Structure 1
Amino acid sequence: MKTKVLAALAATMAVGATCAFAANPFVDVPSDSWAYKSVVELADAGIIQGVDGQYFQGNRNITRYEAAEMVAKAMAHMDKASVEQRALINKLADEYADELNNLGVRVSALENRVGNVKLTGDARIRYRYQSEGDKIKGTDQVVNEKQTNDNSWDYRIRVRANAQVNDRTKVTYGVSTNNISFADNSTASNSDDNNISTDLANVDYNFGGNNWDLMVGRYEYIMGGPRAYGFFYGDTFDGAQLKYQNDKFAATAGYGKFKEGPIGGYWTVDDANYASAKTAYGELEGFFGGGRMAGSAVGVYYNNIMPKAELLGNDIALDNIDVWGAYASVNFGKWNALANYETYRDAIVNDNGSKDNADVWVGKLTYGAANFATPKSWDAWVEYLNADQFDIDGTFLGSTNGWRNDSLTSNVKSWGVGVDYTFAKNAQFQVMQSFATSAKDGNADPGEETRAQFVFVF
């Protein structure tokens, strides 16, 4: 790449330093050169180092990776730049973002561009089909009625606005449609689904040398954190979260309310009674073999879910549900192995009024990595799920970050396979299939699920 990148950086003068009296660090840049002042200023600011610390080699082409490194260093001085200079640096940052990602380098300044508002989002077109389940012995009743092609297709669109207020504070606002069916009668039957809702609205503040992070507002909470399987989570969660993290360790604590999703599906109570169920949670994670961003990790977590008191119209106080979990995510070469365990205490009410625990075991083995920024990248995976019955109806306690439908998340043993393929930049095709699925208790097995979807990010 030509040295025009250097010229652009010099033109911004984003370093904000007057380096007229700085020593020339390069023996091959004479003081009478037209580029002398700009080169010295960039070197004094640490944006360029030259070759072997002595030579600038102004006629040498540079790689995109070298340019990306210089852009990242320029961003560190963003607070000293004018509006026009920030715009140019931001443009260069967008140009070389893929190189930074491909190098496995996460430059915090890339996401902390002061005075910048960036719109992102995604669109998903999904096909889901679940075959007819086995018949209950001695009857014609099946677990799942066969779906038709009409109600197997749906789509969802999400848009996010990320505003960097200053070098420590970021504001995020997001809107999303629900899953809208392509069925012929979707306008009438899915009138509620067509509504656009606010699913993100939070303020994120970094302090303590960027090791501490405080987030307040509406955010997506995944039990166990982003590295865990995410068997349980809240679709829309209002709360506050405090997190400390470094390259070896992370500790998280939070409190809030689940605002949507079937959090109240258990005990056959109407969802409205539990739409604001509260929870306090904590997570401890350790990172190794590559650090927090790219290495392996282990974690433990706890949730105390506090439902409302109404039960079938009676003023009966319900016991809190304690959820304990642990996960391990280990990388070896191009492979990743994930194991996740969760136990839900007092999740089931028996006929005699006693209560039991419900346990979940998940194992997943993945080869490769499908990266939205890298066309033709792909991965393939196989997983196993063993989940107890979560309530007297056999339905799942809440929402899930997994891909299975409701009847494949409770009282079930199930295998699954899938492939993710990036067929163009920011465009990915994903396909998933369950197999060897059986009910743990009872006579009827749920049908197998097929899922395929196109996901586009922007």
Structure 2
Amino acid sequence: ADKAMIDKLAAEFADELNNLGVRVSNLEKHADNVKINGVLEYTYTSTRHDVDHSKNNVDEYVFRLEPTAEVNDHWNVHARLDANGLMDTDGGNTDYNVKLKRAWAEGQYGNFNVKLGKLPNSINLISTTDDPYSGVEFSYGSKWKATVAAGRIDDSQFGDFSRSAAVDAFAENGDTANYQGIKLATTQGKFFGDVAYQHLSSTFTQSGNIAKYYNDKKVGEPIDFKANIWSLLASYRFDKNSALKAEYAKNTEADNYDNAYSFEYDYKGAENANKGTWGAYIAYRKLGQYAAPWSTYGDGVDGGQKGVELGVSWIPFKNILAVAKYFDGKDIAADKDASKLFGRFDFFF
């Protein structure tokens, strides 16, 4: 009798129950439209340069938020907000304000991807910069993937990125450069590789001493700067514990300090979600300052340096990462010894 009554009520209120089910389904589908990940990062660096007998220690923290919002089935919006401070001055000498570092819309249609906004560089990070640029990126493929990017980039970080004179022309002028890049990458089993090209160009007028460096330029005349950087990357994973990676970059517009290369052996690897996991690596890098003005390797070997780098990483607790790196080598232009000790704790959430 109870079952018959339930069936009768179910038939009578079928439309209402269906509508309720749809509403619950939609609510569940869109409950996570906006997700926010982040990290609290503490970093200590100690650098030494024999060329000027300088020693510099920095205690810094970064609080970072990385929200992702669903627009529809194909599009999402991404952002990154950073707040930096110095530990030894209780935040002094830096800006307490939260800064919007990246913001872009991303669309995915099968193997085709498009990004618009202030984007992270994904062409080849040994050769140009870890900082984002404002523009657009298209990519297509899976095992073979082509990427094309174009936009504008703040070139104050580069200085004179195409000549041999150590002149920070762009830093003085607060200029921006046109940026274009293209990459073809492939994944074949345990092998990954890519070939890439990046172009930077800018024109400015300088009334100071920079014009005197160019014999064919007068003070007040426009001066053109450009860089054409070609790069190769190849990596092979022998098994779950061992991998080898090699990279090379060449700036064909530079007079000297025009190439960069890196050889790295990785053993195991720290996994944020797995307590107790760890990894280590050893590398030799040479980062000519006009082929790698500001690469992602700056935590250890920096642009304009060469030498050996050692690193270890460890997950003492879930979502807590400890990293230590040590670089010992030379400042290339001065041919003087240089070293760096780098330590970091990341608390992911």
TM category (shorter chain) comes to: 0.7 to 0.9
The structural deviation recorded for 1:320 is 1.8
Match of 1:238 in 2: 134
Conserved in 2, the CA contact under 8 Å of 1:143 and 1:444? no
> CA, structure 1 residues 400+239, in 2 after alignment: closer, same or farther (shift >3 Å)?
same
CA distance, structure 1, for counterparts of residue 201 and residue 131 of structure 2:
17
Unaligned runs of 5+ in 2: 1-20, 162-166, 209-219
Conserved in 1, the CA contact under 8 Å of 2:152 and 2:179? yes
Deviation string 1:124-170 (CA, Å, 9 cap, x unpaired) is 10010113x33xxxxxxx434123xxx52101111011111111111
User: 1:303 and 2:198 equivalent?
Assistant: yes
Match of 1:197 in 2: 99
- The residue type paired with residue 85 of structure 1 is S
Conserved in 1, the CA contact under 8 Å of 2:70 and 2:76? yes
CA distance, structure 1, for counterparts of residue 160 and residue 62 of structure 2:
23
Conserved in 2, the CA contact under 8 Å of 1:223 and 1:231? no
Give the alignment's TM-score, normalised by structure 1. 0.63
Match of 1:450 in 2: 341
Deviation string 1:417-457 (CA, Å, 9 cap, x unpaired) is 0101011111100000012x1344545322x1000100121
User: 1:128 and 2:22 equivalent?
Assistant: no
The structural deviation recorded for 1:260 is 6.7
Q: Number of aligned pairs?
A: 313
Match of 1:345 in 2: 252
- The residue type paired with residue 244 of structure 2 is A
- The residue type paired with residue 297 of structure 1 is F
Match of 2:25 in 1: 85
RMSD of aligned residue pairs (Cα, Å):
2.6
CA distance, structure 1, for counterparts of residue 154 and residue 289 of structure 2:
24
Q: Look up the SS of the partner of 1:325 in the other structure.
A: strand
Q: Look up the SS of the partner of 1:240 in the other structure.
A: strand
Deviation string 1:256-310 (CA, Å, 9 cap, x unpaired) is 1113761335532142535421111000001111xxxxx4311000011012323
Q: Look up the SS of the partner of 1:201 in the other structure.
A: strand
CA distance, structure 2, for counterparts of residue 356 and residue 385 of structure 1:
17
> CA, structure 1 residues 230+217, in 2 after alignment: closer, same or farther (shift >3 Å)?
same
Q: 219, 222, 247: which one pairs with 2:119?
A: 219
Larger RCO of the pair (alpha carbons < 8 Å, separation 6+): 2
Q: Higher strand share goes to which structure?
A: 2
Conserved in 2, the CA contact under 8 Å of 1:241 and 1:253? yes
Deviation string 1:68-116 (CA, Å, 9 cap, x unpaired) is xxxxxxxxxxxxx846436657xxxxxxxxxxxxxxxxxxxxxxx7861
Conserved in 2, the CA contact under 8 Å of 1:432 and 1:451? yes
CA distance, structure 2, for counterparts of residue 261 and residue 278 of structure 1:
13
Rg larger in structure: 1
Q: Look up the SS of the partner of 2:118 in the other structure.
A: strand
> CA, structure 1 residues 397+284, in 2 after alignment: closer, same or farther (shift >3 Å)?
closer
Q: Look up the SS of the partner of 2:82 in the other structure.
A: strand
Give the alignment's TM-score, normalised by structure 2. 0.81
CA distance, structure 1, for counterparts of residue 31 and residue 91 of structure 2:
43
- The residue type paired with residue 336 of structure 1 is A
Q: 438, 443, 454: which one pairs with 2:330?
A: 438
CA distance, structure 2, for counterparts of residue 423 and residue 275 of structure 1:
44
Q: 168, 182, 185: which one pairs with 1:285?
A: 185
Q: Percent identity?
A: 19
CA distance, structure 1, for counterparts of residue 202 and residue 120 of structure 2:
19
User: 1:119 and 2:23 equivalent?
Assistant: no
CA distance, structure 2, for counterparts of residue 362 and residue 419 of structure 1:
18
Superposition map of 1:174-213 within 5 A:
174-178=80-84, 180-184=85-89, 186-187=91-92, 189-190=93-94, 193-207=95-109, 210-213=110-113
Match of 1:367 in 2: 267
> CA, structure 1 residues 223+264, in 2 after alignment: closer, same or farther (shift >3 Å)?
farther
Unaligned runs of 5+ in 1: 1-80, 90-112, 135-141, 290-294, 348-354, 391-395
User: 1:330 and 2:236 equivalent?
Assistant: yes
CA distance, structure 1, for counterparts of residue 33 and residue 134 of structure 2:
25
CA distance, structure 1, for counterparts of residue 313 and residue 90 of structure 2:
31
